[in-house]
Amino acid sequence: MRPAAATTGAARRRARLAVAAAASIAVACVTTYEPAEPGDGEALPFAAPVSIPLTELGGAGSSRVQLEFFGGILRRLQDAAADGDAALIDSLVESYDLPNVPESFRQHLVGYRAIARGIRFQQHVQQRGLLRLVGDAAEPAPAPEAARRAPPLGEPLRLELELPPMTDAVRLGALGDDDPVGFSVGVTVEDEFVDGSSRESQSKEFLWLPRAIELRDESLSLPVEVGAAAGDAVRRSVVVRVDLMPGYVTIDELRAPIQRVTAGAITCTQWPVGYEVLAEQPLAALRAALADFNPKNYAGAYLSALLVPAQERREATALLIDQVRFGRADQAQVAMAALHRTAGVNISVGDRDGWLSWWQSRQ
């Protein structure tokens, strides 16, 4: 195998074919909620090596001692690459890149120098990448604040992946280049309903750079949009993760291999329009919804029960238990669904006797 710094004509042709096949993909993906097949999208022609194999290190006159010496150095470089230790790789390369070393060994050093650059870039992506709701401040917000800022159910979730500049000269290739840089966007959505049921769906899409980026001169910003009809859901949890895909970037004029790393992730909660009103006085809102407990008020009762603070939880539970005891089947179902979410006990929704016995044991 040739060093990572080298590119064969065949590899370039395969990359061009892959790019042509993906040319219709837009940079701002709209994620839909159709279940993705296991491994969907993984067989991409951008797998990059993380090591340089040991090949013949010297010419015909090389002694066994020389071969063992250089082979030992390459094994140390291999271990450092496996550990992601870019500093050790750079130190070893600088120590042994001397005028009198065999040319084949020097080529291996060039390859490992490129690997070290790729490792540093991956670390930059992991440590400095940020996925946030559009309009957020530069620092990620705590989960409750992120949930409050999320748009209401029925509106798309607009996110942005931001990667700040590096001190190194890093070029990220665009779709259509020999080495395009791509990102995998994985989305998990859980919708919650007033009857206690839930529905989870997963999807995966890919983002490609519309133009090449010199990351030393500017930040990388990519839009990510998650949109789907909410239906009858009363609460939605969305988990979005963006991964850098395997491939190559150019760093200090070296073609550096990169592996899959997470560039950013976020969890958002979407509530229906008007939930803020319920959150102001959830116990009072629960009383009002139960006073005229009909299908149009089921969502309000369910959400109010979820929002009741701990100091008022017992009173809210007593109100819901009354519906379990005296309500119609549909009313009791909503009340048990709310209890199942808030009481912290393993009693199934639909087990009216179980809930009544549990409540009796607490008196």
- Identify the CA nearest to 158 among candidates 104, 225, 236: 225
3-state class (DSSP) for residue 225: strand
Q: What does the alpha-carbon distance between residue 228 and residue 167 come to, in Å, rounded to a whole number?
A: 40
Q: What pLDDT was estimated at residue 228?
A: 74
Q: What does the alpha-carbon distance between residue 227 and residue 153 come to, in Å, rounded to a whole number?
A: 10
What single-letter DSSP state applies at residue 327? S
- Identify the CA nearest to 334 among candidates 321, 344, 346: 321
Q: Which alpha helices (H) appear in 259-294, and where do they start and end?
A: 275-280, 282-291
Per-residue pLDDT of the chain (363 residues; tens, 9 = 90+): 333 333 334 333 333 323 222 222 223 333 333 333 334 444 343 444 455 555 455 554 557 787 888 889 999 999 999 999 999 999 999 999 998 888 888 899 999 999 999 999 999 999 999 999 986 544 444 444 554 578 899 889 999 999 999 988 899 999 999 999 999 999 999 999 999 999 999 999 999 999 999 998 889 999 999 887 888 999 999 999 999 999 999 998 899 999 999 999 999 999 998 889 999 999 999 999 999 999 999 999 999 999 999 999 999 999 999 999 999 999 999 999 999 999 989 999 999 999 999 999 988
- Identify the CA nearest to 295 among candidates 260, 341, 327: 327
Which domains are delineated in the chain? 9-23+48-126 (no CATH), 127-270 (2.60.40.10), 275-361 (no CATH)
Question: Radius of gyration (Cα) for the chain, nearest Å?
Answer: 28
Q: What pLDDT was estimated at residue 52?
A: 53
Both structure tokens of 129? 């990448």
Q: What does the alpha-carbon distance between residue 165 and residue 26 come to, in Å, rounded to a whole number?
A: 24
Q: What pLDDT was estimated at residue 50?
A: 53
- Identify the CA nearest to 236 among candidates 331, 307, 150: 150
Q: Any bridge partners for residue 241, and if so which?
A: 186, 265
* Residues 306-332: b if buried by 16+ CB within 10 A, e if exposed: bbbeeeeeeebbebbbebbeebeeebb
Q: Between β-strands 29-31 and 220-226, what pairing exists: parallel, antiparallel or unpaired?
A: parallel
Burial of 142: CB neighbours in 10 Å, binned 0-12, 13-18, 19+:
exposed
Angle between helices 86-96 and 103-128 (to 10 degrees): 160
- Identify the CA nearest to 260 among candidates 191, 206, 336, 196: 206
Q: What pLDDT was estimated at residue 78?
A: 92
What single-letter DSSP state applies at residue 37? P
